Structure 1
Amino acid sequence: MAVAKGVASVASKAYPAVPGGLSTTWITGKKYQLPTIQGDNSEVAKKWKLFLYSQKDYCKVGLLRHDMIAVDEFHMARLAKARMTQEQLNGMNYRINRALMLSAIKRNLPEEEWTPIDAEHRYLEDIFDQLNAEEFEKKLMKAARNDYDDNWERIRMLPFRAYHYLKIQQTRKELAHRFSQSVV
């Protein structure tokens, strides 16, 4: 109990009554929110989560969480960026350019313009889900048809083949059934 009171006092000293974007009266239930604010939280937990969020620099320059995914290093991010709508792409480019300009002059946005904690930070989640499903289907078809480019790929697919053995066998039966119907 004493720890909870200490956390609440630290959070209230750091942000006593922050106007604008950072407040503990956030709206939950949006589809792409940060998972940390989902669910019922006590006032102490809300203040603590708000304190932790405010210590991250990306919210101070107006970025969302998925704006910071490194497109050069993360293959899925490159594919997701190609599938983004023009509106999402324009918004992301604007936020990144603004953050770069603020970083160059070593300033942050005013506190009322910080990205609120209840903003939809994970806006690429649907695209990542689609890409993961497509990748799974490609691997499943390769394993079901034993269609590998080389022996190294066959070795790299061993964990996938072991984990999804029953699904691969079912897919092989479906392919054999389809093939036997198309030949006849």
Structure 2
Amino acid sequence: MLVSSCPLLNNLGTALAQVLQSVIELVQQVLRVVIRILRDVANTLQGTFQQFLTDLGRLGDILINNLANAVLTQLTDSNQAVAKLGDIFNGIIGNSSTLTPAQTLILARIINNVLGLQNSLSNLIAQILKAVNALLQALIKALQGILNSLLSSLTVALAELGSNSGGNG
């Protein structure tokens, strides 16, 4: 009985070896598909993040330009107001012969304060623009760092997956 069962055991062993080989090949194929999917996801993420950074840069430019335009409009308006005050002061100074020395001194102080205010506004506007620009640049740099770190991690993970699959990817 044992002798007659040997061919059966041999056939069964051969069949099991073939099934095991088929399972191994199937697992390798599934792993290759998973690695391809992960690479596609990584490439999509990379493209998406690069587009995000590009859009963020454009948004930053738009924000800075809009802020600069608003600030410059305010600066222009304040300069025009100071010019109108200058015209008024010139009219008053033209009639300065009717002003007392105390009134002339008060007028000079007012003119000095208005010009100081205009200078302070100009300095404040320049500082605001500089701070906003620095903030946006820092934000863009931080996001680029995050993107580079993420892409590096994905690259390492994909390389490890590829090496674990026997390099068939």
TM bucket, shorter chain = under 0.3
TM-score (norm 1): 0.25
TM-score (norm 2): 0.26
Greater share of helix: 2
Structure with the greater alpha carbon radius of gyration: 2
Q: Which one scores higher on RCO, CA 8 angstroms, separation ≥ 6?
A: 2
